Amino acid sequence: MVTRLKDVDAVTVGFGWTGAILARELTKAGLNVVGLERGPDRVPGEDFILPSVRDEVKYAQRLELMMDNSIDTITFRNFPNEQALPIRRIGAFLPGEGTGGSGIHWGALLWRNLPTDFRIRSALTERYGKNAIPDDMTIADWPVSYDDLEPFYDRFDKTCGASGQAGNLRGKKIDGGNVFEGPRADHYPNAPIKSSSAGLIYAEAAKSLGYHPFPTPVAIASAAYTNPEGVTLGACEYCGYCNRIACETNSKASANSTILPALRLDPKFELRSRCFVTKLNYDKAAKRVVSVTYTDMRNGEEYEQPAGIVILSSFVFGNVQHLLLAGIGEPYDHASGKGLVGKNYAYQYEAGAGAFFEDKEMNPYWGSAGMGVVIDDFNGENFDHGGLGFFGGGYIACNTAGAPPIAGRTVPHGTPEWGSEWKRATVKWYHHAARFNTQGSVYANRNNYMDLDPTYKDAFGRPLIRLSYNPPDNEYKMSAFLLSKLEGIIKAMKPTRYDMHPRPKTFTIVPYQSTHNTGGTMMGADPKSSVVNRYLQSWDAHNLFVQGASVFPQQHGYNPTGTLGALAYWSANAITTKYLKNPGPLVQA
């Protein structure tokens, strides 16, 4: 039996970055907000502390902060004609669980999309001709411009206490920053994270080739910083225990460290953790989601929470699953290409390299997740694709995020994986290895999508999301191009030896590659081509606002969190300044 609770003004389904941003902005506007989160509440002063956070076994190997696949997972296949099988334990990507979501264990690289990324279909057509984009490449312009989002990117930078070097301040190019970025209204709140030996050698080599290296921008405070919420963040310790792990100094930004300390004090906000939302209750005639149904994991009881506004702020897969199960919007049908919910799934195409310098000391174990030097010369439309045979691009980085001893040991290819010879090579090279990454775009393709699995169900009996994904040939060529540029830089670094690590042509669900999943509830200019409008408002339910990377029409060559954070502030601004005055569609269909 379902217990019906009393109405609230707004409810968030999921409580990571976007749930927290929306809850904070809506309570500030006077609304009573309930935050629903499937996992536990995570409190920095209690859960992110020394020495327990510096545990590679618990966090990096056993994935303590990640989703519980015994409750919920997805199924996967490379191609639509194959049998999809469940991901029995997550690997290639690691959605988080608990307050803060994936934004606790993330690498905290904080990027903005390029201005041309937001109008990529138009930009490619203008530059390469109206027939240049292949038929199966279903990319779309975003319904917002870089200039629309800039104030909200800036806002998110400041919430996070971001560190970096501006390369374009109000149109003025600044050497040492990313000269390809769109104009920024303001500097980063903090100076860049310090660079390591490897990063400095990389920067010199890149410069010698005419490229434009700069320190990787991060949502990590390089110095103590008080954000606009009045929350003080600590300075980065370069501890090397960063990826997949929570930050003990509250330097690496999370909703828990930057927003929740203020939000928890607000009586208009109520957090309900360990509450798993199983259903959006949709009134199709009224075009509203009237309530959400959840199970309280502590007593097994079901509750119905009516709300004036519903913020759908779970991970990409959860957002799509909720819409498909509730019948909101038309499901994407691969055979006909019709329908939109589940369409334009994209991933991030990463490939790397390792180089070895026998006479250089790298002290590889220190670093922070975003500690590195990067070039953006081959991202998006920063370079001419004429004659290259692909579209898209990515950044090319020397990452010095720390080399934890279980997973961070790099040895030259051809080294045995065990035995005395392996041990000698490990000891020989541990202090002398540098690691590199190319992070490329994945442009949407009609064969990459999500729908409901016909066979497998979650712990609540709901069909799992079925993911069909393989990087199109376009992406494989793009990655090969980035690797060739990276190889040029590595050669200029004059290593003792190096190895390039291209990805196989067939995507594999293990090992870890990237948690950057996007699409499925794409935003757009009209309901014929998109699931949500430019304010992330559902075309089919005007009180439903879908947050996160599921609204990206395709994945550009940047980490998604900067853009999804900016979109959350932009959406919240539309709700508080427009929707509350006149609840209804903010864009006429």
C-alpha–C-alpha distance, residues 363 and 375, integer Å? 23
Min dist CB 176 to another protein, Å, is 17
| Alpha helices by DSSP H, 394-506 | 420-429, 473-492
Which residues are bridge partners to 310 per DSSP? 11, 544
Q: Name the residue nearer to another protein (CB basis): 66 or 341.
A: 66
Determine which residue in the list 8, 22, 36, 87 makes contact with another protein, applying CB under 8 A: 87
Min dist CB 249 to another protein, Å, is 8
- DSSP secondary structure code for residue 182 in this structure: P
C-alpha–C-alpha distance, residues 48 and 42, integer Å? 8
Judged by CB under 8 A, does residue 122 bind another protein?
A: no
Which member of 212, 385, 432, 516 is catalytic? 516
- DSSP secondary structure code for residue 575 in this structure: I
Judged by CB under 8 A, does residue 463 bind another protein?
A: no
The interface region with another protein, picked from 48-56, 328-336, 441-449, 572-580 by CB under 8 A, is 48-56
Judged by CB under 8 A, does residue 431 bind another protein?
A: yes
Q: Name the residue nearer to another protein (CB basis): 216 or 561.
A: 216
Judged by CB under 8 A, does residue 383 bind another protein?
A: no
Q: Name the residue nearer to another protein (CB basis): 453 or 540.
A: 453
Min dist CB 556 to another protein, Å, is 25
C-alpha–C-alpha distance, residues 374 and 179, integer Å? 12
Environment class of 252 (CB within 10 Å of its CB; exposed 0-12, middle 13-18, buried 19+): buried
What 3-state class would DSSP assign to 523? strand
**Which residues, 6+ apart, have CB-to-CB distance to 439 below 8 Å?**
348, 349, 350, 394, 395, 397, 514, 557, 558, 559
Q: Name the residue nearer to another protein (CB basis): 57 or 388.
A: 57
Report DSSP letters for 308-349, one per residue: EEEEE-S-HHHHHHHHHHHT-SPBPBTTTTB--BT-S-B--E
C-alpha–C-alpha distance, residues 347 and 164, integer Å? 25
Determine which residue in the list 81, 298, 418, 582 makes contact with another protein, applying CB under 8 A: 418
Judged by CB under 8 A, does residue 120 bind another protein?
A: no
Judged by CB under 8 A, does residue 363 bind another protein?
A: yes
Judged by CB under 8 A, does residue 494 bind another protein?
A: no
Q: Name the residue nearer to another protein (CB basis): 185 or 510.
A: 510
Which of these, 402, 398, 401, 474, lies nearest to 440 by C-alpha position?
Answer: 474
Judged by CB under 8 A, does residue 461 bind another protein?
A: no
Judged by CB under 8 A, does residue 86 bind another protein?
A: yes
C-alpha–C-alpha distance, residues 214 and 168, integer Å? 12
Q: Name the residue nearer to another protein (CB basis): 7 or 68.
A: 68
Written as six digits, the tokens of 199 are 């990063």
Amino acid letter, residue 452:
L
Judged by CB under 8 A, does residue 457 bind another protein?
A: yes
Judged by CB under 8 A, does residue 510 bind another protein?
A: yes
Judged by CB under 8 A, does residue 76 bind another protein?
A: yes
Residue 51, preceding peptide bond in cis (omega within 30° of 0): yes
Judged by CB under 8 A, does residue 414 bind another protein?
A: no
The interface region with another protein, picked from 194-202, 271-279, 476-484, 549-557 by CB under 8 A, is 194-202
Min dist CB 507 to another protein, Å, is 7
Determine which residue in the list 43, 200, 492, 580 makes contact with another protein, applying CB under 8 A: 200
Judged by CB under 8 A, does residue 506 bind another protein?
A: yes
What 3-state class would DSSP assign to 218? strand
Report DSSP letters for 34-77, one per residue: EEE-SS----HHHHS-TTTT--IIIIIIS-TTB--TTT--EEEE
Determine which residue in the list 1, 46, 81, 83 makes contact with another protein, applying CB under 8 A: 83
Place of tokens 């590595």: 490
Q: Name the residue nearer to another protein (CB basis): 64 or 186.
A: 64
Judged by CB under 8 A, does residue 582 bind another protein?
A: no
Q: Name the residue nearer to another protein (CB basis): 127 or 431.
A: 431
Sign of CA dihedral 485, 490, 494, 495: negative
Determine which residue in the list 236, 312, 465, 500 makes contact with another protein, applying CB under 8 A: 236
The interface region with another protein, picked from 39-47, 70-78, 208-216, 477-485 by CB under 8 A, is 70-78
What are the b/e assignments for 237-247, b being 16+ CB within 10 Å?
Answer: ebbbbbbbbbb
Determine which residue in the list 238, 282, 356, 449 makes contact with another protein, applying CB under 8 A: 238
Judged by CB under 8 A, does residue 40 bind another protein?
A: no
C-beta of residue 294 within 8 angstroms of C-beta of residue 278: yes
Judged by CB under 8 A, does residue 57 bind another protein?
A: yes
- DSSP secondary structure code for residue 234 in this structure: P
Judged by CB under 8 A, does residue 77 bind another protein?
A: yes
Judged by CB under 8 A, does residue 507 bind another protein?
A: yes
The interface region with another protein, picked from 62-70, 155-163, 318-326, 387-395 by CB under 8 A, is 62-70
C-alpha–C-alpha distance, residues 495 and 473, integer Å? 31
The interface region with another protein, picked from 109-117, 261-269, 299-307, 356-364 by CB under 8 A, is 356-364
Min dist CB 509 to another protein, Å, is 5
By CB under 8 A, how many residues form the interface with another protein?
63
Written as six digits, the tokens of 139 are 């990319």
C-beta of residue 525 within 8 angstroms of C-beta of residue 534: yes
Determine which residue in the list 509, 541, 551, 575 makes contact with another protein, applying CB under 8 A: 509
Which of these, 552, 527, 152, lies nearest to 319 by C-alpha position?
Answer: 552
| Alpha helices by DSSP H, 215-373 | 255-258, 260-263, 316-326
Determine which residue in the list 3, 45, 62, 226 makes contact with another protein, applying CB under 8 A: 62
Query: Within positions 240 to 279, which residues make up the interface with another protein, using CB under 8 A?
Result: 240-241
> Is 432 known to be catalytic?
no
- Strands 349-356 and 433-440 come out as antiparallel
Q: What are the residue numbers of the active site?
A: 516
Give the residues lining the site for another protein (CB under 8 A): 50-52, 54-57, 61-63, 66, 68-70, 73, 76-78, 82-83, 85-89, 91, 194, 196-197, 200, 235-241, 360-361, 363, 365-366, 405-406, 409, 417-420, 423-424, 426-427, 430-431, 455-457, 506-510
